[in-house]
Amino acid sequence: MLTLADYGWSDFFAAAFAPYAAEGFEAGRVFLQHNRALMLYTASGETPAETTGRLRFHARGAEDLPAVGDWVVIRRADGEEKAKVHEILPRRSKFSRRAAGSETAEQIVAANVDTVFLVTGLDNDFNPRRVERYLIMAWESGAEPVVVLNKADLMEEAEGRRAEIERVAPGVPVLLLSAKRGEGVEQLHPYVGRGRTVALMGSSGVGKSTITNRLLGSEVQRTQEVRLADARGKHTTTHRELFVLPGGGLVLDTPGMRELQLLVSERGLREAFEDIEEIAARCRFGDCRHEGEPGCAVREALEEGSLDAARYENYRKMQAEMRHAATLVDQRKAQEEKARVKRIHRAFNRTQKRR
């Protein structure tokens, strides 16, 4: 029988859970989520669950609802198949993306991930600019990023590509492997282990599910050839699921993400482009825009080639995007707060009338 520790439980969650334990609640970890339906790992095995109406009522957005990887506070009523989720315990890390069809609505993709494998294929998918973007998301999440260059068997120049990615991912391990052939997969092992959660993220067709199957030691996840005519891939994996590994630890396979769904944020941007931030700190003027001001260290670095022009351009692009998104999010939050207050007033008035 597995214990909560096998599912990633730690002192951090135990401390947050203590007041609920005293009231007889149980803890569970979400391993599957489909709309309101959840599947949880608990001390007594797997159980289906759903959120209480109260939790949904007070939710300000998707952020306040359970996502895969979340630890939740549950109660089981006699004779009911589904446990009721009363609260979500604080998250140690979280991945958000833009919800489909919206420029501002945030969706939590995964919670409480320790290490994220940012997977890129050494085929047509290879794109350092995209890796930079994924790194922003990873740094923002609070999980430790590791870049995984998969399909090394398809490229002669794999080592050169690795060096190229190391330059855009300062301080981040960059691993080269072939999941299909099973070569280099052991480099992932130090990141997995009892109670540790790893997640795989990257575009469709890069081999996330193939890697998941390697870690699981069996063909649990379906994998599929990418159509050459359609560079977007097929999106073989359609939902996120957290698996327990036979040797201990948990792995979260996710559906391929389109680049534009990634949210860029200040913190993530700073960390992913730390090298540029360091150069910019040497500009003569504190508010230097690096557009021809005298004593600009960034211009100088670009001219002498110590700063790669494409990387700098991507940084500027991400920065502009982040500012745009931040404005939209502020507007949305103001609207949501207004709607929430209105909702609470209405509910309050209803109870007053009943009296």
Ligand X SMILES: Nc1nc2c(ncn2[C@@H]2O[C@H](COP(=O)(O)OP(=O)(O)OP(=O)(O)O)[C@@H](O)[C@H]2O)c(=O)[nH]1
Nearest distance in Å: CB 265, ligand X:
23
Query: Going by C-beta distance under 8 Å and a sequence separation of 6 or more, which residues neighbour residue 301?
Result: 279, 307
CA atoms within 13 A on the CB side of 37: 4
Does 312 participate in binding Zn ion (rule CB under 5 A)? no
Does 203 participate in binding Mg ion (rule CB under 5 A)? no
Q: Which of the listed partners (ligand X, Zn ion, Mg ion, none) does 91 bind, with a CB threshold of 5 to 8 Å by partner kind?
A: none
Does 296 participate in binding Zn ion (rule CB under 5 A)? yes
Nearest distance in Å: CB 321, ligand X:
23
Does 107 participate in binding Mg ion (rule CB under 5 A)? no
The first and second tokens of residue 227, run together, are 């159509």
Nearest distance in Å: CB 228, ligand X:
11
* Contacts to Zn ion from residues 126-185, by CB under 5 A: none
Does 307 participate in binding Zn ion (rule CB under 5 A)? no
Nearest distance in Å: CB 222, Mg ion:
7
Q: Which of the listed partners (ligand X, Zn ion, Mg ion, none) does 66 bind, with a CB threshold of 5 to 8 Å by partner kind?
A: none
* Residues near Zn ion (CB under 5 A), total: 5
Nearest distance in Å: CB 223, Mg ion:
6
Q: Which of 141, 237, 265, 314 binds Mg ion (CB under 5 A)?
A: 237
Residues that bind ligand X (CB under 6 A): 150-151, 153-154, 178-180, 204-210, 223-226, 233-237, 255-256
The whole-angstrom separation of Cα 165 and Cα 77 is 52
Q: Which of 112, 203, 209, 213 binds Mg ion (CB under 5 A)?
A: 209
- Residues of this chain that interact with Mg ion (CB under 5 A) are 208-209, 236-237
- Residues of this chain that interact with Zn ion (CB under 5 A) are 283, 288, 290, 296, 298
